[in-house]
Structures are given as structure tokens and as C-alpha cells.
Structure 1
Amino acid sequence: MALLEIENLAVEFQTSTGPFRAVDGVSLKVDAGEVLAIVGESGSGKSVSMLAAMGLLPWTAKVTADKMVFDGRNLLGMSASERRKIIGKDMSMIFQEPIASLNPCFTVGFQIEEVLRIHLGLDKAARRKRAIELFEAVGIPNPAERLGHYPHQMSGGQCQRVMIAIAIACNPKLLIADEPTTALDVTIQKQILDLLMRLQTEHRMGLIMITHNMGVVAETADRVIVQYKGRKMEEADVLSLFESPKSDYTRALLAALPENATGDRLPTIGEIFKGAAQ
């Protein structure tokens, strides 16, 4: 049985010009211990799909699906209070823009201890001990001291590590990483990816990696879903996707990588995709 299984997911937002369908008929599943990458250019509905599964979209969004099951539990039939017991504990997410995702009014220590208090019911001493252990696990130096710092007192890479510590605090069964290396320099990107893969292996978590970086996909994923304009264009194991992509859009994504440039000018995805469709 899949850890997370979604069939025919659709997400619609109301706009000033009428309804806009951001996700249209996406299906996916991920097993325990598996790494699934969801790849596509910005605006392809990757993050919205996962926020819908987490129940974190605004109430104005219309979310429908034929099936949305996590760890044998029907997410579609859950009340908001029932889902809150799962989100952040069994199913967790590392959000884009770590500095924007952390509350600037509270120390990072308070924010990680709040998760431990709500989901595990730990007392103050146990929460602090666990928070220090988590900061050590994600490679934050001087963890006891860092607990008292505010997000603005930490670098982007350190804030990303705080977000990872919060996300894994309760040893989730499924971790969703939304562009976990965005805006980080290359050295820090490698450290963050290595950290995520180590934690995924140690805890046998299901991991969904949302990215537009095909290098990250090649390095981390077991299977890949390619999305374009809210639709799933292709799904394959990672080797098959790179060696023999089936959809024109996937071929366009790969052809637009700098290392695949054949002329003086790198073509855009739109140019390649348009040409393939003609």
C-alpha cells in the first residue's frame, strides 16, 4: 500500500477574470522509503498540488480528487482538526523561502519546541533537549545558543536547516521538500541535499522533492513526475526519464539545460516545446 496516493487532483482558484485551474487531473503515489521528484518550470502547479494534499490552501480554493489517502487514512473525509493532528507530525513540509516561512517575532527555539509540545506533548526540559538534538542533526553549530536566536540573526542556509529540523522533529512518515535549495549558494545546496538524503535513508521516510532543477532530480530521485500547466505530462523512473523521455515537454526541459546547448544561444523551453508540437 502506497504511503500517499492521489488520483485525479484538481485545484481551482477564483480570479477577477473567472475560475483558474492551477492543477488539472494530477495523480501520484509515493511509498515509504521512496524519493519522488515533481519537476517542471515555475507555475506548473507543483507546490499547489502538495499544499492541497497538506490541506494548506486558502479556503477559497476549490480542491477535488477521486482519491487522496495517506497511510491508509482518507484525507478527503477528514475534518480540519483531524488533519491538524497529522500535518507537521506524520506528514511534514519544508517550505520555499525559509526566512519568510519562519515567524520573525519568535526565536527559532520557540518555533521548533512548539511543534514538539503540540504533537508529542513533551515537557519544557524534554523539548529543549530534543530541539538541541535536532539542531545538531541538521548541522547547526552551537545549537543551545542558536535556540535563542531570531530568524533574522541567521543566514539563509541556517534558516533552511531550522526549517528542516522543524519538519523532521516528529520523525514524519512523509516529508515534502519544496525547492529546498532555492536561493542558496552551490556549496550550501550540496550540504542541504546530502542532509535530506541522509535523513530520508536513516528514517526510511517517503520523500517528495519539488524542484525545477534537473540536476537535483538526477541526484536524488527514484521516480519523477513532470508537470506542465497543472497537468502531469510524464511519469517514469529517473534513468528512463533522462535516457528516453516520452513527452515533448520533458524533452524540451532536458534540451534547455545549459550542458545540452548545441549552439551559441540556449533555446527556451517554450521555443523547443512549440517546435515539437508543430
Structure 2
Amino acid sequence: MSLLEIRNLSVSFDTAAGPFKAVDGIDLHVDQREVLAIVGESGSGKSVGMLATMGLLPKTATVTADRLTFEGRDLLTLSSRERRQIVGRDIAMIFQEPMASLNPCFTVGFQLTETLRFHLGLGRAERKRRAIELLQSVGIPDPEGRMSSFPHQMSGGQCQRVMIAMAIACNPKLLIADEPTTALDVTIQKQILDLLVGLQREHGMGLIMITHDMGVVAETAHRVVVQYKGRKMEEAGVLELFENPKNPYTRALLSALPENATGDRLPTVADAMALEAAR
């Protein structure tokens, strides 16, 4: 049985111009100890699909699926209370912008200990001890001192590490990382990726990596789902995808990588799609 199984997931939003379908019939699954990468351009529905799985979309969204299960439990039929018990504890998500995700009005220590209080019911002393351990595990220097820091007193990389610490606080079975290195410089990106993969292996979690960076996919994933305009174009093992992409869009995406540039101008996905259509 898969850890997470999604069949025919669709998400639409009510707009002034009528319903807009952001996700259109997506199928995917992820197993324990597996890293699944979901790749595609901005606007391809990568994040929306995972937010729907977490139950974090606004009420203006309509979510339907033939199957949306976590460890065999139907997420669509759970009550709000039952879903809150799973989300944040068994399924956790690292969001794209750490500075926007952390509350600027509260210290890092308070935000970490509140997560532990809500999901695990730990006492004050135990919450503090566990929070310091978590900050240490994600490589934060002077973790005890950092407990009293506010997010604006920390760098972007440190804030992302705090977000990872909050996500793994309850030892989740599934971790979803939404573009976890987008706002970071190249050196810090590598550190964060190594940290995520190391934690995934150490804890035996399933990991879904949402990204548009094919380099990240090559370094971290076991399998890859390629999305375009809300639909799944292709799914394959990571080596198979890079060596023998079957879908024209996947080939276009790989052709648009900077290392495939010829001449003075970087290729775009649109350029590559045009070449695919001309074949």
C-alpha cells in the first residue's frame, strides 16, 4: 500500500470569468522511504495539488478525486478535526518562502514549541528540550540561544532550516517540500538539499519535492512526475526520464536547460516546444 495515493485529482477556483481548473485529473503516489519529484513550469499546478492534499486551499476551491488516501485513510471524508490531527503530524509541508511562513511577531522557539504542544501535547520543559534538539539537528548554530530570536534576526537559510525543524518536529511519515531552495543562494541551496535528503533517509520518510529545477531532480529523486497546465505529462524513474523522455513536453523541458544552449540566447520551453512540433 502506498503512503499517499492520488487518483484523478482536480482542483478548480471560482473567478469572475468563471471556473478555472488549476489541476486536471492528476494521478500520483509515493511510498515510504521514496523521494518523488513533481516538476513543471510555474502555474502548472504543482503546489495547488499538494495544498489540496493537505486541505489548505481556500473555500473558493473545489477539490474532487476518485481516490485521495494517506495510509489507506480517505482524506476527503475526514472531518476537519480528524484532518488537523494528520496534517502537521503525519504529513508536513515546507513552504516556498520561509520569511513569509514564519510569524514575525513570535520567536523561533515559541513557534517550534507551539507545534510540539498542539500535536504531541508535551509539557513546557520537554517542549523546550525537543525544540533545541530540532534546531541542532538542522544545523542551526547556538540552538539554545536562537530560541529567543525573531525571524527577521535570522538569514534566509537559517529561516528555511527553522521551517524544516518545524516540519519534522513530529516525525512525519510524509514530508512535502515546495520549492525549498528558491529564495536561497547556490551554496545554501546545496546545504538545504543535503539536509532534506539526509533527514528523509534517517527517518524513513516519504518525500515529495516540488520544483522547477531539473538539477534538484537529478540529485534527489527516485521517481519524477512532470506536470504542464494542471495535467500530468509523464511519470518515470529519474534515470529513465533524463535518458529517454517520452512526452514532447518533457523533452522540451530538458532541451530548455541552460547547458543545452546553442549560441548567445538561452533556450526557452516555448522554443523547444516549437521545435518538437516541427519534427
TM-score after normalising by structure 2: 0.98
Amino acid at match of 1:34: E
Q: Which moved more, 1:253-262 or 1:43-52?
A: 253-262
Q: Where does residue 236 of structure 2 map in the other structure?
A: 236
What does 1:45-194 align with in structure 2 at a 5 Å threshold?
45-194=45-194
SS at match of 2:21: strand
Q: Distance in 2 between matches of 1:152 and 1:264?
A: 40
TM-align CA RMSD: 0.7
| Secondary structure in 2 matching 1:182 | coil
Specify the code of the residue in structure 2 equivalent to 1:215: G
Q: Aligned equivalents of 2:261 and 2:96: distance in 1? A: 29
Q: Runs of 5+ in structure 1 lacking a partner?
A: none
* CA–CA separation in structure 2 for the residues paired with 1:257 and 1:104: 37
Q: One-letter code of the match for 2:112?
A: I
- Aligned 1:201-216 pairs, distance under 5 A: 201-216=201-216
Query: SS at 1:104's partner residue?
Result: coil
CA distance in 2, matches of 1:266, 1:146: 43
Offset at 1:60? 1.1
**How many pairs align?**
278
Report what 1:26 is aligned to. Answer: 26
CA shift, 1:273, in A, is 1.1
Residues in 2 aligned to 1:260 and 1:276: alpha-carbon distance in whole angstroms: 15
CA drift of 1:270 comes to: 1.1
- Given that 2:258 and 2:267 are in contact with CA atoms closer than 8 Å, whether structure 1 keeps it comes out as no
Distance 2:210 2:222 in 1: 13
Give the superposition deviation at 1:262: 2.4
Match for 1:275: what amino acid? L
Residues of 1 paired with 2:237 and 2:263: CA distance?
30
Residue 113 of structure 1, CA deviation: 0.5
Residue 104 of structure 2 aligns to a residue whose secondary structure is coil
* SS of residue in 2 equivalent to 1:77: coil
TM-score (norm 1): 0.99
1:272 positional shift: 1.4
Deviation readout 1:23-57 (Å, 9 max, x if unpaired) = 00001000000000000011100000000000000
Q: Deviations over 1:3-24 (max 9, x none)?
A: 0000000000011111100000
Confirm whether residue 276 of structure 1 aligns to residue 270 of structure 2.
Answer: no
What residue number does 2:16 align with? Answer: 16
CA distance in 1 between partners of 2:30 and 2:261 (Å): 33
Secondary structure of 2:76's match? helix
Secondary structure of the structure 2 residue equivalent to 1:195: helix
Identity rate, percent:
73
Local SS of the residue matching 1:29: strand
Please report how far the alpha carbon of residue 217 of structure 1 lies from its aligned counterpart in structure 2 after TM superposition.
0.1
1:101-149 per-residue CA deviation (whole Å, 9 max, x = no partner) reads 0111111111110110011110000000000000000000011110111
CA shift at 1:267, angstroms?
A: 2.0
Give distance in 2, aligned partners of 1:155 and 1:58.
30
Distance 1:244 1:30 in 2: 22
Letter paired with 2:186: V
Q: Which one is further off, 154-163 or 264-273?
A: 264-273
Give ranges in structure 2 of 5+ residues lacking alignment.
none
Q: In the alignment, residue 118 of structure 2 is paired with which amino acid?
A: I
Q: Give the superposition deviation at 1:268.
A: 1.1
1:274 Cα shift? 3.0
Aligned to 2:219: 219
Displacement of 1:237 in angstroms is 0.1
